[in-house]
Amino acid sequence: MSEETNGHRKNLFNVGAIVRGLTTTFSYMFKKKPTVEYPSVRKQHAPRFHGLHELRRYADGKERCIGCELCAIACPANAITVIGAENAPEDRRSPGERYAARYEIDELRCIFCGLCEEACPTDAIVLTPRFEMADYRRGALIYAKDRLLVPPEAGVGTPPDERPNGIPADLGGVYRRKDTVSIDEGYEATHRGRILKEFRRGLPLQPTQDIT
């Protein structure tokens, strides 16, 4: 074309570039492929990978969770629902006064940011490297205590004092943000919203079955 510059015309006939390209693609054919064929070959995750949650226990088998709801407050996705209850003297679930009667995480809402982990004063909630939780039903992705709480034989851990980063002090900002959300308004569609509404209406509290 007449308005095309010489540079353009040169590109059209740049056989050297085409040959170079062809040799490149040909040599790439025999290179080692970086693909990890996932279901049959599994890669080792980083130890601090943010995956499925886990509720931990103390070495004596008592639940770490004291039902303080700090994780639920810190959660930016409103994925966590905690309803605490007083420990009965004859059946103590946790070392403190209270324990989580219900503890449910909507893994579909969760963004795996790990803020719950940072907010927890007793290191009860942690993110594990487990990530394969796909299911055909949405309901199956609401993890309750029966699936979150580690079995007593598996769960022994360090006390919260040994936590290297300590407990984050600045929870106020997160708390205020939660205040802007009214439970009665756009909140109902979530699992957490429904549970809390039920709870406020004074319906009987049905603790989710746990394994202990």
Residues forming the site for other proteins (CB under 8 A): 1, 12, 18, 21-22, 24-26, 28-31, 33-35, 37
Rg (CA), the chain: 26
Looking at the Cβ atoms of 21 and 186, the one nearer to other proteins is 21
Looking at the Cβ atoms of 22 and 183, the one nearer to other proteins is 22
Looking at the Cβ atoms of 40 and 209, the one nearer to other proteins is 40
Least gap, CB of 133 to other proteins (angstroms): 23
Closest CA relative to residue 154, chosen from 179, 135, 128: 128
Least gap, CB of 6 to other proteins (angstroms): 14
Dist CA 57 CA 65 (whole Å): 8
Dist CA 109 CA 120 (whole Å): 19
Looking at the Cβ atoms of 9 and 130, the one nearer to other proteins is 9
Least gap, CB of 2 to other proteins (angstroms): 10
Least gap, CB of 42 to other proteins (angstroms): 16
Contact partners, residue 155, CB within 8 Å, separation at least 6: 56, 57, 61, 149
How far is Cα of residue 205 from the mean position of the Cα atoms in its chain?
25
Least gap, CB of 41 to other proteins (angstroms): 11
Looking at the Cβ atoms of 1 and 189, the one nearer to other proteins is 1
Tracing tokens 């290179």 back to the chain, one arrives at 31
> Is the Cβ–Cβ distance between 65 and 125 less than 8 Å?
yes
